[in-house]
Chains A and B, each alone.
Chain A
Amino acid sequence: MMNNKEIPDFRFTPTIDKVGVEERVARIQTKSIKGESKVQGMKMILNMIDLTTLEGKDTPGKVKQMCYKAQHLHSQYPDCPTVAAVCVYPSMVKIAKDALGNSNIKVASVSTAFPSGQAPMEVKLMDTRFAVEQGADEVDMVISRGKFLAGDYNFVYDEIAAIKDACGPARLKVILETGELVTLDNVRKASEIAMHAGADFIKTSTGKIQPAATMQVTYVMLMAIKDFHARTGKMIGMKPAGGISTSKLALHYLWMVKETLGDEWLSNEWFRFGASSLANDVLMQLMKSKEGVYQSSDYFSID
């Protein structure tokens, strides 16, 4: 946990100009990422993916198959990287952990009554402890958006700090659910609260609410991370989740990280994509850059 003396007054977090952010992002999206730099970027993207299944209908079978895919994205591509992690519900953590063995791929578990977070504190703590006991390397918690919107920043802060405590050695990703926070000012404020309260990562969305991740929201969170780092010297990771399904968009996200935070953040220790369908689009582009022609989606496994 952070030293309490460092906690700022969250009513006075920096303001964000939406129009300015849109222009900044539009300019990043004019970047032309081609040739070798595209291949290098796409390999990084694959290696930053949190391959995700978060459904009521998840079963051990489904999770095991996804874990195989996580380790063998596309055997036709030589030296294909693995994904960074798989992301599942707490009840599936053990299954995933066993399926991944000693592959170095992390298991991330959502917790705190994901996705709504509408449960008592005790339940959220139990949820988190259970996930960690089952072997989760990372915990993806949700903040209490209702409390945040009602101005109860202390509640939100204390909750994150308590969950961080319960995580033990597991790294904590804090989901802001930016689609429910609506304004970029709120996104900035929630980012600050999460980082000060002990988040290792800040994450945009659950994937259950629209809009999920956008480049604008991610830009605001990256700049919050940059400022936090300048102030405290502590690096915080970033995870946009939901809505990133094409390689071109993911490359622009990655370039945005490079332009705002620099090369130090360009590894899966500090940047992740929460996505389920992105991997295959990237694989398709990688094969195209190798073979010169596009292959049909039937040549790429869906797990």
Chain B
Amino acid sequence: MSKDSKKPLSTWNLNPAPESTEHIKLKEQYELFINGEWQKPTAGLYFDTVNPASQEKLANIAHANDADVDKAVKAAREAYTNVWSKMSGKERGKYLFRIARLIQEKAREFAVIETLDGGKPIRESRDIDIPLAANHFFYYAGWADKLEFAFPNKKVESIGVAAQIIPWNFPLLMAAWKIAPALAAGNTVVLKPAETTSLTALKLAEIIEESGLPAGVVNIITGFGDTGSALVNHPDVDKIAFTGSTNVGKMIQKSTAETDKRLTLELGGKSANIIFEDAAIDQAVEGIVNGIFFNQGHVCCAGSRLFVQEGVAAEVIQKLKDRIDTLVVGDPMDKNTDIGAINSQKQWESISKYLELGVNEGNEMYQGKCAIPEKGLYFPPTIFIDVAQSSRLVQEEIFGPVLTIQTFRTVDEVIQKANNTPYGLAAGVWTDKGSKIFNVTSKLRSGVVWANTYNKFDPTSPFGGYKESGFGREGGLHGLASYLK
């Protein structure tokens, strides 16, 4: 460096900072976790689970068929009748606390595996997914011996065997959302993770084994849609909890229509994120980014429809473009990556179709400037500007890093447009004026409304949808109530 203290320096970029994978333990092949044992699938079938960033195979995963599902449900029934429903809440709580602590102890391993298997940035799995999963177990562990205080004047009773089917976008976190309240309330569980992201659920099974939880209380079976269908249709299941697409949710609701199975569904969304002209603009822009680009936009409550009041639209869009240019798209294992890999080829193709649609419709499009790795499933952060409510981009769930921007003039107009969707999962409202927050949030028909923030989750807070985004709540006391008679 010269002594000339005024000389400007060249550009400054970050070196790769990949998280180490040395400390993780993965088996070559994973069996089904039924009745406290690792059982081979009856048909002897396995499928590959791959790293979406590198396309490398990580492990063989067992594909459960009807017979395996039957074994799992029987194990859960037996454990329910003979052990878990008779155990005191205090004892149940001890197991949950133990599982929570074991997740914390192995947090780093969980985070790395979640990122390898699912493609989400290590920053998110490390700072959000895994800590939140542990917190859900801690939170519900605390309720296990206090159920009569949670629901005063009510004789609470567990339901029985819960069949739980979870999606690929937050694999361990969704497993925690489902398992923790079910066990705290005294039910037993058969859980099926999504076929592209089975690994952390299977690692959770290892922890459950280590915790000494009685055999059959939690059974984890892997497979595709046929496995899930067999589980949903099994006659000895008392309660179904499903998180996933609206289409599958509708199929499940149809199939349970003539049964006495209880059902909660947490489905898709097309959530509105509303920026008023009196908002703190820079923080709102950050909220837009967190709302849509969190987890590559693979978030059911993603703030995928942005509404900006016309007085600040030009400013907000310019600032959003500037911020998008600084987002790092790339290796999910790199600690500096903001947007990781798209979870599967199928999903990548689906997002690409919407991109094509948006371009063909003649919308103004802007994409982040970050160079995209050549290999692997990546998608740049993308915004479509001045899109109409009648566009399919605005109406359909894209489930990727694609944002539509609409402008609005008045409060009434934006409430009407925000609610003008078959979905109703979440919404965001950005304004510096408290009274406006109360007015708007009370009129939005969505299960969650965030004010001056977005995509915030906490075990104490219920989460769930209106309309085609599903019914029933997870998290908080509401989430506990879904697992009690």
Contacts and interface: CB of A to CB of B under 8 A. Distances in A.
Given A104-B4, A267-B9, A17 B14 contact: no
Contacts of A23: 286, 453
Given A19-B452, A19-B453, A20-B283, A82 B3 contact: yes
A232 interface: no
Interface in A32-90: 32-38, 40-41, 43-44, 47, 79-85
Given A32-B336, A103-B3, A37 B8 contact: no
Contact of B11 (A84, A103, A263): A263
Nearest to B452: A17
Contacts of B6: 104, 267-269
A196 B336 CA distance: 36
A32 B17 contact: yes
B318 interface: yes
Given A17-B283, A20-B283, A30-B335, A230 B15 contact: no
B282 interface: yes
B145 interface: no
Interface in B84-132: 123, 127
A43 B3 CA distance: 12
Contacts of A36: 15
Nearest to A41: B12
Contact of B5 (A14, A38, A106, A223): A106
A293 B13 CA distance: 25
A4 to B, nearest CB: 24
Interface in B1-59: 1, 3-15, 17
B336 A105 contact: no
Interface string A247-283: 0000000110011000110111100000000000000
A47 B8 contact: no
Contacts of A38: 15
A99 interface: no
A263 B8 CA distance: 9
A255 B4 CA distance: 23
Contact of B278 (A15, A30, A223): A15
Contacts of B17: 32, 34
A16 B282 contact: yes
B318 A258 contact: no
B432 interface: yes
A96 B345 CA distance: 65
A21 interface: yes
A81 B14 contact: no
A20 B3 contact: no
Contacts of B287: 20
A19 B454 CA distance: 12
A85 B6 CA distance: 11
Interface string B276-297: 0011111110110000000000
A124 B284 CA distance: 40
B129 to A, nearest CB: 15
B1 A79 contact: yes
Q: Which of B4, B12, B17, B336 has the most CB of A within 10 A?
A: B12
Interface residues of B, number: 33
Given A15-B432, A30-B335, A32-B336, A20 B5 contact: no
B326 interface: yes
Contacts of B281: 14
A24 interface: yes
Contacts of B279: 15
Interface in B295-341: 318, 326, 335-336
Interface string B408-447: 0000000000000000000000001000000000000000
A30 B123 contact: yes
A22 to B, nearest CB: 10
A266 B8 contact: yes
A31 interface: yes
Contacts of A15: 278-280, 432
A15 B432 CA distance: 7
Contact of A263 (B5, B12, B336, B453): B12
A258 B11 CA distance: 9
B247 to A, nearest CB: 35
A230 B326 CA distance: 17
B109 to A, nearest CB: 19
A43 B1 contact: yes
Nearest to B322: A226
A266 B287 CA distance: 27
A267 B10 CA distance: 9
Nearest to A44: B9
Contacts of B1: 43, 47, 79-81
B14 A31 contact: yes
Contact of B280 (A20, A30, A264, A266): A20
A24 B283 contact: yes
Given A104-B4, A266-B8, A30 B127 contact: yes
Contacts of A37: 12-15
A43 to B, nearest CB: 6
Nearest to B7: A267
Interface string B438-480: 0000000000000011000000000000000000000000000
Given A14-B280, A20-B283, A259-B326, A47 B14 contact: no
Contacts of B453: 19-20, 23
Contacts of B283: 16-17, 19-21, 24
B286 A24 contact: yes
B305 to A, nearest CB: 20
Given A15-B432, A20-B287, A34 B15 contact: yes
Given A20-B286, A23-B286, A47-B1, A31 B278 contact: no
Contacts of A223: 282
18 contacts: A15-B432, A16-B283, A17-B280, A17-B284, A19-B283, A20-B283, A20-B452, A23-B453, A32-B335, A33-B15, A37-B12, A43-B1, A79-B1, A104-B4, A230-B318, A259-B326, A263-B10, A264-B8
Interface of B: 1, 3-15, 17, 123, 127, 278-284, 286-287, 318, 326, 335-336, 432, 452-453
Interface of A: 14-17, 19-21, 23-24, 30-38, 40-41, 43-44, 47, 79-85, 103-106, 223, 230, 254-255, 258-259, 263-264, 266-269
Q: Which 8 A-B pairs have the closest CB atoms?
A: A20-B283, A32-B17, A17-B280, A267-B8, A17-B283, A35-B15, A32-B335, A81-B1
